[in-house]
Amino acid sequence: MMNIREILAENIKEKRRKKGLTQEKLAEKAGMSLQYLAMLELARKFPSGEMLERLANALDIETYELLAIAPSANNELETLRNDIIYEVKTLNETLAKDVTEKIIKTIKYISMEERKKNK
């Protein structure tokens, strides 16, 4: 599990690369030194709230996006797997209930028919 510094570092790098910015350009836009930005991207420093806002503004994103955990393919697959398992269980319960009700109705019908024959 990544800690908050590592999450921030990955998000800064990812957002910077998506914007096509070099470290130098982002540092300039955010009003910080290149060395400080490099330390953030290496998860060796953690910025103040003001610095987070400046980074977010320089990247044209919301501040919370710098701290958000991006869903990974594994997380998405695990969520999908769990959803499918839940749906199958629910379907099985529903089908089992329907089948049970049909069996009971059939038994009652057969019992009534047997009674009619025996009268």
Q: Average pLDDT of the chain? A: 85
- Domain range list for the chain: 4-66, 71-119
Q: What does the pLDDT average to over 9-21?
A: 93
pLDDT above 70 covers a percentage of the chain that reads 86
pLDDT digits (tens, 9 = 90+) for 18-70: 999 999 999 999 999 999 999 999 999 999 999 999 999 999 999 999 999 86
CB 54 within 8 A of CB 30: yes
pTM of the model as a whole: 0.61
Q: Of the CATH numbers 3.40.50.11540, 1.10.260.40, 3.40.50.10490, 1.20.1600.10, which one belongs to the domain with range 4-66?
A: 1.10.260.40
With a CB cutoff of 8 Å and minimum separation 6, the contacts of 44 are 5
Given the structure tokens 């089948």, which residue do they identify? 99
Given the structure tokens 């999908």, which residue do they identify? 80
DSSP E strands in 1-119: the ranges are: none
